[in-house]
Structure 1
């Protein structure tokens, strides 16, 4: 019953927000059931969820089924993007709860509270950042939104809207990903999901992750016990601190405070 209510809400919201046929968000939900496994695997192997790129795949599929514009692909792709992101994050949260022996019921309550609080906080943070930096600017390039726009252009105008060698590159990457996932090869090679994420994320993010991983490796070589006990917590604190600092800087910019 709860699943039916949630699915109905997604369909209604898609109709109201994008003015599309109800079958479009419904199709997005169907695609989500197929792509959730890929998102969950990527989350488990890399701690990042490729919800955006997989949402782009959904754009292509839905665009082929309902050609003629970008509203339907964006609506269906948005459904897939949100579903994959939240499902992967929920798996991660529940795994953490299992490790610390937290019963499922309190976790569910906490997640529901987080939905309400997160909606308010994220909306406020979005307005704050957009006001301070703008979106699609040099200071805030919004690479995820840019990639979605590029995919929407491809859906609307065809492969001709892609850079010259982009289709060939995508085909090569697909073959390499399949080969690296084969069991006889997988144990000798890096995770194809991790390698793919490095190509999808902005370079500075990939380099930052690589530097962090290398630092953790050095710490583990020196003292594995210390790395296991404090390494992840320290890295999480740095990530959270950087995000909070960014919001504080945005507030100062809006107030006209300059260095």
Structure 2
């Protein structure tokens, strides 16, 4: 849109004794050509009666139409801006209503809080209907390592079954080897494996984890209440097999 130039013009102060029709016509044409978008023609009337030092004004009806167009355009864009603002306020209210719901915070907490590695272990053994044995990797970034320091230990389920767990950290994974066996005292084995990892500074397990990233060929998912955690295998297992 082009900006509207002044719609109210004042001609120089003139008297009827020095004003001629030619000068009036010339001034009128100069005023009409000031607008680059619209050209309006003045009709000069020869019967103008000007008193001494009377100011001549020009306000054509076509300019009134232009004013109406500009006012209409201004009102339109103003209403459009108010509509956008009203829509934004409505959306902000909906966002506030969503954020103040308890379910929202539970969903956010489920996304931010990682499950414990022990929860994934229990859920996976139950999900597979308590297989005779299994061996899997889980990423350290996906779980909370709540079994840190444990290398060989018993893991009972609420169904009465018991598993012997061989566990080690091998960046970027945690490795679990589970065998279904009766409960035994594994304190000595756990201490031995722990000392062995300390003596070798964890270097073998570190390279084991790096090599596993290239050897892993199968992925399964453990379904928890609020999350689904991927676990990784070197090959796809037959869950009912003893070997």
User: TM-score if structure 1 supplies the norm length?
Assistant: 0.24
Instruction: Find the structure with the greater CA-based Rg.
Output: 2
Higher relative contact order (CA 8 A, sep 6+): 1
Larger helix percent: 1
